[in-house]
Chains A and B, each alone.
Chain A
Amino acid sequence: MDPLAELKQTFFQECDELLGALEQKLQALDEGSSDPEDVNAAFRAIHSIKGGAGAFGCTELVGFAHVFEASLDHLRSGRVAIEDAPFTLFLRCSDAVADLVSAARNDEPATERPDLLAALEQVGQEPRAQAAPAVAAPAAATPAAALPATSPAPAADEAPPGLAALGNLLAMVEAKSTAAPAKANDDGWDDDEPVAARMPLASAAKPGRDVRLRIAPETDLFRRVIEPRVVLGSLPADDIVAIRCDLSKVPPLETLDVTDCWLRFDVDLRTELSVEELHGRFDFSLANEEFEIELSDATPAAEPAPVAAAPEPEVPTSVAADLSAILAKLGPAPDMAGQPDIQPAPVPVPAAAPAPVAEAVPAVRAAPRAPANDQAAARQRQAVSVRVDLDRIDKLMNLVGEIVITQSMLVECVRSLPYDVYAKTAEGILTLSRQTRELQDHVMAVRAQPVKAVFQRMPRLVRELAQTLGKEVRLVLEGENTEVDKTIIEELADPLTHMIRNSMDHGLETPDERVEAGKPREGTIRLIAEHRAGRIVISVTDDGRGIGRDRLLAKARSRGLVGADEKLAPEEIDQLIFAAGLSTAEAVSDISGRGVGMDVVRRNVESLGGRISVDSEPGRGCKFTLALPLTLAVLEGMVIRCGDDRYVIPIASVIETQHLASTPIEKLPFGQEVLRWRGEVTPLYRLGTVMGSTGTTNENIVIIAETERGNNVGIAVDEIVGQQQVVVKSLEANYGAVNGASAATILGDGLVALILDIDSMLRLAASGDRAPLSDLKMAG
């Protein structure tokens, strides 16, 4: 990719971050934060987006961002109180900016938002409306027209020459142009006039009018590190007729502070630049008070150079000084050398004489640049931030996985060695395993990201849906900084979107219905992420009407998913929401309700070794819980044996282990075994029986494990073999789904072991007498 395209990509990535920050800050402010730093951060975000957009020629984006920025500036400056600010509007605008960014990214035409611009324009306008009625002109549709009247923004800022800049940059990057920088068009952000179009010399024949500039800098000019030659150099060299230096203000040497500037300059110009344009030239360094522009009469100057001929009664103190001597003291000035007309006023210099100098300058400058270019490019490649393809990290991760396996094989091998050899080797192996672990942690850390990246997209979804559905919704985010592997992050967006849509569409009632039911008009959706049992658990909770079980069951029966006389527990009915082709929405809407949502979500989640479940309380609300592994790559596991088979239980699920013999076990009437663990009745499952292990089982150990819902279960196994990191190998990809297991691994001796999924195992155990529903679940 060429550097510019790459930069542009980076810019868009950065935009995503900035948009996230913008939205987050606006949201915080909307919810009552009055922290000025939130305002500043929001302002900075839109400001940076605007800046970048300008550089890449995204004109629409710049236009919109500019108006938006101006509105936020009212808050920043205190012209509009934070409490009075229309954050709902700002949030919608931040959505619009996101749209513009994505349009620019995809090279699509941008949708204009005259409505939002007009609304933005009104921000901070009310107080002025009386004072200056003209300001409150009808809302204009174009960004430029919508500029707040208070902001003295020049034309350039309204319509940035973005495309021109882009074109120039392209030319520069591609051709690595070595041409001397434009010497005259220095401050020309409002001036795209090509230098070549100018006349080579200011002369009587030159079109334009005569202008006299009186430059009287403040004495602190030098302390601002501005040299007079820099000031003068900002004028078009070819327009300069004469420059005179006035030394009359310079104090006597004994009292002169050399850091003070006492120089005054008069510059005669013959130029086509307007007064405003001339202002623009100096604007970058001189304050308005520091220079004066006098238009001479339209009379064309008879002689261009010998200014001394012209009487100067208006500057009686003017001293014709040897400017080049002054300039020499101030330091060498290549640019000024190229200007033929700088001279001691009384001594006319032949116009031809300086010409060779002018040519020599760019030549000298160009020479060392060519080799420097390669070095510069090399340096650049180093310095630009390191972005790594996920693909490469994946390869690294895979390799680490292989090392983990090799290392556990080594451990097995070493065990069979004679003791003296073993003792020596063991130490090395121990170090190796520690280092492998560290390596793995570091690689994992590279891939870990907070779920914020996904969570941040949700407020917008909620806002838009709320508008479409005519509902009032508050979204509460918690645990945004919960970190999870990159691979998982990418898989989260889809199910989350579905879950939230479902809650918004089916769960929450309309404001009127809510009031009738005695609830606040505004519904609340909580999106919470947390780590639990070695998984990331994300829940979406709404305070809506809950699942309509009667309708759901009726529908399931009519579809033949549930037998006519089959009895289902309320919780089981709720789970039907994940069955294919079921939707109870009265009207099929664009948002959800086509019945192709939750079953697909569930399939996708399960293929990742995750699970989605729903808890509903009629009239009170509904909670979707999504549990996914933290990573799809490695797992810390307890290796156990049942009969001839070995299994791995994710260590994060294990609470404690104890001897079965010392544990009193009771049998419930329908055959379920339970044990008392820390005073709680805890169901006990015999793993060999549930999983159908081969060989004879002889259970000695109970492992107390935690399920995703936070319940405890006891799992009886024959033996604990050890604890180790295992590399997760997908069963679906290599073999086929196995109930009760989320994946498989290869142990040190090269044999395969199943990685148990406690929740799935419990379902398998329970499915023995509830075949129809479990079939449905598996199918769904």
Chain B
Amino acid sequence: MKILAIDDTKTLLALLTLTLRNAGHEVAEAENGEDGLTKFEQFKPDLVITDLNMPVMDGIEFTRACRSRPLGQNTPIIVLTTENGAEIKAEGRRAGASAWMVKPFEPNTLLGLVARYQN
């Protein structure tokens, strides 16, 4: 599965990528929402995993922007963040996020979630 991973923390991004690649997924990386949108157009992922708190463009804005584009309307977007408040989750949902997962992620849990989006 082609997965776009977005996180401004290089280490976490690398860890995420490592986890996904070891499970056989093809991964593209982006360091913030804006970068994510560019990569989204180029890479055309089957699934996006994005952080929330990022400079330039955060995860919510990214999700909103993604959903407003033809290409991004059918791609599941998993928010992977340490945020866990009801408000921010509701905002994420309104923006069009498909799933919400709280960091730190447990690799098998994440892969399980990803696998459920795999056709």
Contacts and interface: CB of A to CB of B under 8 A. Distances in A.
A611 B114 CA distance: 60
Interface in B91-117: 93, 96-109, 111-117
Contacts of B11: 7, 10-11, 14, 52, 55
B24 interface: yes
Interface stretch (A225-233, A240-248, A400-408): A225-233
Given A55-B103, A376-B24, A379-B21, A234 B116 contact: yes
B59 to A, nearest CB: 12
Contact of A189 (B17, B86, B102, B114): B102
A44 interface: yes
Interface string A1-45: 001000100110010000000000000000000000000010110
Interface in B63-111: 67, 73-77, 82, 84-86, 89-90, 93, 96-109, 111
A55 B102 CA distance: 11
Nearest to B28: A383
A288 B86 contact: yes
Nearest to B63: A224
B34 interface: no
A541 B8 CA distance: 38
B100 A283 contact: yes
Nearest to B101: A284
Contacts of B18: 3, 7, 173, 380
A283 B9 contact: no
Interface string A149-175: 001111011001110110011001100
Interface in A433-449: none
Interface string B8-23: 1111101101110111
A332 B103 CA distance: 29
B107 to A, nearest CB: 5
B8 A181 contact: no
Interface in A370-397: 372-373, 376-377, 379-380, 383-385
A559 interface: no
B90 A188 contact: no
Given A157-B84, A187-B101, A376-B21, A55 B115 contact: no
A284 B12 contact: no
A7 B115 CA distance: 25
Contacts of A176: 22
A186 B116 contact: yes
B119 interface: yes
A71 to B, nearest CB: 15
A589 B9 CA distance: 41
A284 B109 CA distance: 12
B94 to A, nearest CB: 9
A335 B116 contact: yes
A153 B90 contact: no
Contact of A172 (B10, B53, B107): B107
Contacts of B113: 186-187, 234, 284
A368 interface: yes
A223 interface: yes
B105 A189 contact: yes
B66 to A, nearest CB: 10
Overall SS of chain B's interface: mixed
Nearest to B92: A224
A186 B112 contact: yes
Given A165-B106, A285-B99, A334-B118, A152 B17 contact: no
A384 B99 CA distance: 27
Contacts of B86: 152, 288
A168 B106 contact: yes
B54 interface: yes
A482 B4 CA distance: 37
A233 B118 CA distance: 12
Given A160-B104, A288-B86, A369-B24, A181 B111 contact: yes
Contact of B117 (A3, A69, A230): A230
Interface string A173-205: 100110011111111110010000000000000
A629 B52 CA distance: 44
A583 B112 CA distance: 66
A54 B96 contact: no
B55 A223 contact: no
A157 B67 CA distance: 29
Interface residues of A, number: 73
A369 B21 CA distance: 10
A286 to B, nearest CB: 8
A182 B109 contact: yes
A399 B116 CA distance: 54
Contacts of B21: 376-377, 379-380
A225 B74 contact: yes
A736 interface: no
A185 B93 contact: no
A238 to B, nearest CB: 14
A51 interface: yes
B31 to A, nearest CB: 11
A226 B47 CA distance: 12
A518 interface: no
Contacts of B23: 181, 369
Contacts of A729: none
Contacts of B99: 226, 230, 284-285
Given A10-B10, A172-B107, A376-B21, A182 B112 contact: yes
A285 B84 contact: no
Contacts of A3: 18
Contacts of A151: 85
Contacts of A287: 89-90, 93
Contact of A51 (B9, B108, B114): B9
A331 interface: yes
A561 to B, nearest CB: 53
A181 B29 contact: no
Contacts of B12: 48, 51-52, 55
A572 to B, nearest CB: 52
A506 interface: no
Interface string A272-302: 0000000000011101100000000000000
Scoring B73, B102, B118 by chain A CB atoms within 10 A of each residue's CB, the highest score goes to B102
A50 interface: yes
A47 to B, nearest CB: 5
28 contacts: A11-B11, A44-B8, A44-B54, A51-B9, A51-B103, A55-B12, A55-B103, A55-B104, A152-B86, A164-B106, A172-B108, A176-B22, A177-B22, A182-B112, A183-B115, A186-B112, A187-B109, A189-B102, A223-B67, A225-B98, A230-B116, A284-B99, A287-B93, A372-B24, A376-B24, A376-B25, A383-B29, A384-B14
When A and B form their complex, which 5 residue pairs have the shortest distance between CB atoms, in order from nearest?
A: A54-B104, A181-B111, A11-B11, A376-B21, A48-B9
Interface of A: 3, 7, 10-11, 14, 41, 43-44, 47-48, 50-52, 54-55, 62, 69, 151-154, 156-157, 160-162, 164-165, 168-169, 172-173, 176-177, 180-189, 192, 223-226, 229-230, 233-234, 283-285, 287-288, 331-332, 334-335, 368-369, 372-373, 376-377, 379-380, 383-385
Interface of B: 8-12, 14-15, 17-19, 21-26, 29, 53-55, 67, 73-77, 82, 84-86, 89-90, 93, 96-109, 111-119
Given A162-B104, A230-B116, 5 more contacts: A48-B53, A152-B86, A183-B116, A224-B96, A230-B99
